Amino acid sequence: MTNPLILKLEARDDLSDAEKASLENAITETRTFRPGDDLVREGDRPTTSTLVLDGLCARYKLLGSGRRQITAINVPGDFVDLQSFLLHEMDHGIVALTPCRVGCVPHDTLRQLTEAEPHLTRLLWLSTVVDSGIHRQWLVAMGRMSAQGRMAHLVCELYVRLRSAGCADDLGFDLPITQEALGDILGLSSVHVNRVLQELRGDGLITWRGGRLTIGDWDRLRATAEFDPNYLNLIHEPR
Amino acid sequence: MTNPLILKLEARDDLSDAEKASLENAITETRTFRPGDDLVREGDRPTTSTLVLDGLCARYKLLGSGRRQITAINVPGDFVDLQSFLLHEMDHGIVALTPCRVGCVPHDTLRQLTEAEPHLTRLLWLSTVVDSGIHRQWLVAMGRMSAQGRMAHLVCELYVRLRSAGCADDLGFDLPITQEALGDILGLSSVHVNRVLQELRGDGLITWRGGRLTIGDWDRLRATAEFDPNYLNLIHEPR
DNA sequence: CGAGGTCTTGAAGACGATCAACAAACGTGG
DNA sequence: CCACGTTTGTTGATCGTCTTCAAGACCTCG
């Protein structure tokens, strides 16, 4: 099976065979995690960065009250903590939301890439910059949209991202997580998540049963979410 | 006057004289903006990136309802839209919050830096990655903190960032923006911003008059905000 | 001095949180 | 395959936070 990071980068620019080989060889080890396992903890100083090969992970922070906020979802092909190569100390934890398989890339290897492969460096930089754009969009949703709008937006985003990673079909995608986790993503209580889901289902926009999310009416879902995939930067052009 | 970007990067790693010169020479033009002016609009495809030399700018998105959400504040030394060099199309606008002086750096120059200056490239990459960390912290505040906690957190963050940019003294800093803008930052209505400010002032945590924010009790402000500057990555070490 | 923008205050209402109880689903061991 | 315990999902009731609307005060700048 080919490395999903290569798929992700090739969606945005051409890669030479040498560059693909560099990426393939960068992974020194693969590891698996079960839902709820921490891949990395806040305060760690990892010496490798983690690439999601399969499953979903989340970045999160905990507050004094014990509340959790998830700040990002990572799908296959995402370099979860690529920034730890530059930041050194983790300012947040990373948890497996579903069963996960990940690849580890030593920071030394990344550093060598930045010395020898300027184009690949720009593409890796790009992938952190796209993450940043997703964060900004989430901020807009959190600050100015209703709970239903936010939920609809999340579904739209995950659908497009999973699709581009080859992990969704025409009808929907697997999302085997709890309503509480969904609340931690959207900044809502699990009770309210439940009610919002019922409304969206009542309106025929989505259904979500047995860990499988099905899209009922993409156009209206998209309208509810005011979703514009622009910020995901799924455009192929020279970088 | 020395380029504040150099100050910002030197807070996090050593720069050689050649690297400093590269950064100085990168700015081809400086421009000024008045409060409310757009530096860049959503959908633009700029050919330069913008470095704040003086004043405050904000990244923002507008929703269908006309609501605005500010997703980032940029202080002197920040490279506002460095990512446009990789992303090409702007997924958000940038507005001057106060009178601003900025420097323009052509994307061609940035590209050449990535080809010839790996260490400087890593530092510029780092600065986008720190922005990302700030976004994540804002998400936590938006999702899981009260209006007062959020306000307190914003004040703490701005104080530390402006201080490290040499734009704040022991007592506080200039913040000549409207309460409505503050609401667009925090995802609150301007009415509620007003009330939250009154409470914080009543508690002796801050005062804000005539565009000048004064910190009354840093320890309690910090506690209210659960503020930990860790995510700003103000650590000097080799990158 | 007047006009537009900004700040302030009050009142009403919407949205989402919290609490509590129960139902359903899941997994584990017998 | 069933029994049981634990986790997850569902529902109702109540409460608090923040929004919205509206009106008046203040301020700044032409």
Mean pLDDT computed over B154-178: 96
- Residue A189 one-letter amino acid: S
Cα–Cα distances (Å) from B1 to B24, B33, B185, in that order, read 11, 19, 30
Which residues in B lie closer than 8 A to residue A133 (C-beta atoms)?
A: 83, 87, 91
What gap in Å lies between CA B217 and CA B220, rounded to an integer? 6
Q: Which residue is nearest to nucleotide D18 (CA to C1')?
A: B192
Task: State the helix-helix crossing angle for A107-116 and A118-144, rounded to 10 degrees.
Answer: 120
d(CA A99, CA A117): 33
Q: What is the pLDDT of residues A27-54, one digit of tens each?
A: 999 999 999 999 999 999 999 999 999 9
Residues 96..135 of A with a Cβ closer than 8 Å to B: which? 111, 114-115, 118, 121-122, 125-126, 128-133, 135
The verdict on A69 touching B (C-beta cutoff 8 Å) is yes
Decide if B87 and A233 are in contact by the 8 Å CB cutoff.
yes
Residue appearing with tokens 């309802």: B65
Confidence (pTM): 0.97
The answer to whether A140 CB is within 7 Å of strand C is: no
The whole-angstrom separation of Cα B155 and Cα B221 is 9
Comparing A4-8, A70-74, A90-94, A130-134, the range with the smallest average pLDDT is A4-8
User: With b meaning 16 or more CB within 10 Å and e meaning fewer, what string describes B193-206?
Assistant: beebbeebeeeebb
What share of chain A in percent tops pLDDT 70?
100
Nearest CB among B65, B122, B144 relative to A86 is that of B122
Nucleotide nearest to A189 (CA to C1'): C17
- Residues A79-100: what's their mean pLDDT? 96
Average pLDDT over residues B209-220: 96
Cβ separation A86–B187 shorter than 8 A: no
Measured CA to CA, the distance from residue B105 to residue B30 in angstroms comes to 9
Nearest to B155, CA basis, from B175, B132, B178? B175
Question: A86 and chain B: CB distance < 8 Å anywhere?
Answer: yes
Mean pLDDT to the nearest integer, B58-73:
97
Q: What is the pLDDT of residues A52-86, one digit of tens each?
A: 999 999 999 999 999 999 999 999 999 999 999 99
- The answer to whether A145 contacts B63, with C-beta atoms less than 8 Å apart, is yes
DSSP structure string for A146-214 = -HHHHHHHHHHHHHHHHHHTT---SSEEE----HHHHHHHHT--HHHHHHHHHHHHHTTSEEEETTEEE
| CA closest to B88 among chain A residues | A239
B71 touches chain A (CB under 8 A): yes
A178 touches chain B (CB under 8 A): no
A190 CA → D10 C1’, Å = 11
What's the mean pLDDT in B107-114?
Answer: 97
How far apart (Å, rounded) are the C-alpha atoms in residues A225 and A157?
A: 10
The yes-or-no verdict on residue B1 having pLDDT over 80 is no
Contact between B230 and A131 using a beta-carbon 8 Å cutoff = no
**Half-sphere exposure of residue A86, counting CA atoms within 13 Å on the CB side?**
30
pLDDT at B2 exceeding the cut of 90: no
- Beta strands A68-74; A48-54: pairing state: unpaired
List the single residue in B91, B115, B138 with the smallest CB-CB distance to A118: B115
Distance B181 CA to D29 C1' (A): 21
Q: Which nucleotide is nearest to A195 (CA to C1')?
A: D10
On the CB side of B114, CA atoms within 13 Å amount to: 23
Cβ–Cβ < 8 Å for B193, B151: yes
Contacts of B140 in chain A (CB under 8 A): 61, 63, 69, 71
Shortest alpha-carbon distance between residue A161 and chain B (Å): 17
Q: Which bases along strand D come within 7 Å of a protein CB atom?
A: 7-13, 17-22, 28
Distance CA B85, CA B200 (A): 41
Q: Which nucleotide is nearest to B187 (CA to C1')?
A: D18
Strand order in the sheet with B29-33: B29-33, B100-106, B48-54
Average pLDDT of every residue of chain B: 96
Has residue A2 got a pLDDT over 90?
A: no
Angle between helices B107-116 and B17-26 (to 10 degrees): 160
pLDDT for A1: 59
Contact flag A88-B235 (C-beta cutoff 8 Å): yes
Tell me whether A64 touches chain B (CB under 8 Å): yes
In chain A, what residues touch B186 (CB-CB under 8 Å)? 143
What are the φ and ψ backbone dihedral angles of A187, each rounded to 5 degrees? 75, 35
Instruction: State whether the beta carbon of A195 lies below 7 angstroms from any atom of strand D.
Output: yes
Question: How many CB atoms are located within 10 Å of the residue B35 CB?
Answer: 16
**C-alpha distances out from residue B66 to A81, A119, A143, B63, B76, Å:** 35, 39, 13, 5, 29
